[in-house]
Amino acid sequence: MAMSPFTPFFTETLFQNLRKASSGLEDSIHYCGFPSASGERDERIEQSVTRMMIIIDLARNIRERNNKPLKTPLREMVVVHPDDGFLEDITVKLREVCEILVNILIIFGCKKLPLFATKFVSFLM
């Protein structure tokens, strides 16, 4: 619907194909009313996406500072944050999106910085 003023022939073709699969639609996309929003927003989804954007931005900045191009996949990334909800958003709900956008094979979550630092130091030795 939103594309019809800009690409009328393309959207009309798509709509006519859709009409074949559905019943009760108008004869043309140009006779349809523009959809309206219900006005309801899910604050939890917005918060999760904002958190994801923060992690992606930070990861890209770190890669840039260390001269690691985005094309080069990294083995892992550890997100350290005290909030369980934050870690769940990044390592469970939006893990796949973060891994793809930052080009990292796996993302881990860690609640306490000293715990992560201890693991990291033992890994280096």
**Whole-number pLDDT of residue 54:** 92
Same domain, 28 and 61: no
Strands 74-80 and 104-110: parallel
**Chain segment 25-59, per-residue pLDDT in tens:** 888 877 787 777 777 888 998 999 999 999 999 99
Position 114 pLDDT exceeds 80: no
Position 122 pLDDT exceeds 50: no
Same domain, 102 and 63: yes
Residue range of the domain that includes 100? 43-124
- The reply to whether the predicted model has a pTM over 0.85 is no
Position 97 pLDDT exceeds 60: yes
Contacts of 30 (CB under 8 A, 6+ apart): 4, 8, 12
Contacts of 45 (CB under 8 A, 6+ apart): none
Radius of gyration over every alpha carbon of the chain, rounded to an integer in angstroms: 22
* Domains of the chain: total: 2
Same domain, 24 and 51: no
Q: Which residues lie across from 78 on neighbouring strands? A: 108
